[in-house]
A and B are shown apart, each in its own frame.
Chain A
């Protein structure tokens, strides 16, 4: 294996100069999609966990079924069902919407479970004390229980958010114009894998800081006995 061939294949300056702008555009789409997923997923997950805290049986059963189903289903399967199956019943959505909705539902399912575990970890006495000062159930939940619960949820939530935002790459399967879409179409167009190298570097630029940040979060918010 000569070094020359390796450089020509994976680090071809000529090919890179033709495709790097596409990849940068893909980075923007990936970032935008990932942020939209995080906002919607965490919001819905938190909402469901709070609703569950009110212990209304029928609602709780539905929430548990939702959380279980979207933790069991592989995200790619959800995306494909939403994108390829729903048009048959005239519920077509764009590839971007299908990917965003799928990943948001999956993140919401995991986030609900994590928030719920956090809420459960707060001793019951906290709620009782808050209620006895005259707070309503909702006030006790939002002002007393939740602030204590959130601390415990931060490390697992960060990890889950990284795992799911990385799945924005799955959008390429339904042709969302994110990084890997441009990288693989560029690679087949050029007959050279350099665009894939650029795509890989783009992911590292986006996600390596997040992974390093999550390590800091893990030590900062570690559970102290």
Chain B
């Protein structure tokens, strides 16, 4: 038991690791705050283009979405990280990571928004148009609010997944929480920093997990 505390919950080590963990949390939060909105915007764009129902365009969008759903995000990140320099493109690390996440998350958000837009009955569009709203106004004020509400559990659930995904950035040396924790672990030869990082993820994301559960159960109850 003593050994377990020494190795996993070592106070002295935690004190040394703490500043790195705090900085890591900051970077993880920053990365999440950048990629969730761009992912949402990208996904919404994909879904709205799909909703125009242009045949060739829809085939391309479907291919885009399926392509990036089949592609593990880590592979995408390593490919962009390792491949771009060979093309003579020199992106900063943050840009590389954000680009990989944008391609991945926009296809997932795109699928969710698409399902949402399809769930709004066509009568809603006809009624809105007959009151004199333009097509854009109808989309913005009538369809989107209902579509978003219908797929809210999935949107929140995917956002949770995106935040968890930020850990992959540690693999290419982006100094977020997991990366910092692993570096301190290697320096101190003690598991405490990594265990502490795991607990931080757990405490920070648990409320979101509960929220997703509640939304999901509610949407099942409605049916």
Contact = CB atoms under 8 A, between A and B. Distances in A.
Interface of A: 1, 5-6, 9-10, 68-69, 71-78, 80-81, 84-86, 88-89, 113, 117, 120-121, 162-163, 166-170, 172-173, 179-180, 183-184, 187, 192-193, 196-197, 199-200, 203-204, 207-208, 210-212, 215, 223, 225
A71 B74 contact: no
Given A193-B82, A203-B75, A207-B70, A84 B205 contact: no
A173 B169 CA distance: 12
Nearest to A120: B220
Contacts of A203: 70-72, 75
A85 B205 CA distance: 22
B204 to A, nearest CB: 8
Q: Which of B75, B205, B210 has the most CB of A within 10 A?
A: B75
A215 B46 CA distance: 17
Contact of B208 (A72, A75, A187, A223): A72
B75 A199 contact: yes
A71 B220 CA distance: 19
A81 B72 contact: no
Main SS of the interface on chain A?
A: helix
A76 B168 contact: yes
B47 to A, nearest CB: 16
Given A204-B70, A208-B70, A88 B191 contact: yes
A170 B78 CA distance: 11
Interface string B158-182: 0011001111101100000010001
Interface in B1-57: 3-4, 7-8
B194 A207 contact: no
A183 B182 CA distance: 23
A88 B39 CA distance: 39
Contact of B78 (A117, A184, A210, A212): A184
B90 interface: no
Given A71-B209, A75-B164, A76-B167, A170 B83 contact: no
B140 interface: no
Nearest to A78: B198
Contacts of B167: 74, 76-77
B70 A211 contact: yes
Interface of B: 3-4, 7-8, 66-67, 69-75, 78-79, 82-83, 86-88, 160-161, 164-168, 170-171, 178, 182, 185, 190-191, 194-195, 197-198, 201-202, 205-206, 208-210, 212-213, 216-217, 220, 223
Given A10-B83, A68-B209, A196-B83, A170 B74 contact: yes
A196 B80 CA distance: 10
Given A77-B167, A84-B182, A121-B220, A72 B70 contact: no
Contacts of B205: 72-73
A9 B87 CA distance: 8
A113 B157 CA distance: 13
Given A85-B8, A89-B8, A113-B213, 5 more contacts: A72-B208, A74-B165, A167-B72, A173-B171, A215-B66
Contact of B198 (A9, A81, A86, A163): A81
A163 B213 CA distance: 18
Contacts of B78: 180, 183-184, 196
Contacts of A192: 86
A73 B79 contact: no
Contacts of B223: 121, 223, 225
Nearest to A167: B72
A180 B73 CA distance: 11
Contacts of A113: 213, 216
Given A69-B202, A193-B86, A208 B79 contact: no
B82 A77 contact: no
A72 B82 contact: no
Given A172-B74, A173-B171, A193-B86, A81 B194 contact: yes
Contacts of A207: 70-72
Contact of B206 (A6, A72, A200, A211): A72
Nearest to B68: A211
